[in-house]
Amino acid sequence: MTAERWEKLTGWPLTAAALVYLAAYSVEVLAQPRGASAVAVEAVIWVTWALFAIDYAAQLLLAQERWVWFRRHLLDLLVVVLPMLRPLRLLRLVTILSVVQRSAGTALRGRIIVYVSGASVLLIYVAALAVLDAERGAGGPIQTFPDALWWAFVTVTTVGYGDYFPVTGLGRFVAAGLMVGGIALIGVVTATLASWIVERVGAESQESGDAVARLAEEVSELRRAVEREDARGGDGAVATGSGA
Buried b (16+ CB within 10 A) or exposed e, 82-110: ebbbbbbbbbbbbeebbeebeeeeeebbe
Let me know how long the chain is.
244
pLDDT tens, residue by residue, 196-217: 677 766 666 666 666 777 777 8
Q: Show the CA angle centred on residue 45, arms to residues 50 and 145, nearest 5°.
A: 145
DSSP 164: S
Q: Are 112 and 101 in contact (CB under 8 A)?
A: yes
Q: Domain residue spans in the chain? A: 1-81, 90-244
Which pLDDT value is given to residue 210? 66
- pLDDT tens, 22-37? 888 889 889 989 999 9
90-244 placed in CATH 3.90.79.10: no
- Let me know: does 194 contact 186? Beta carbons within 8 Å: no
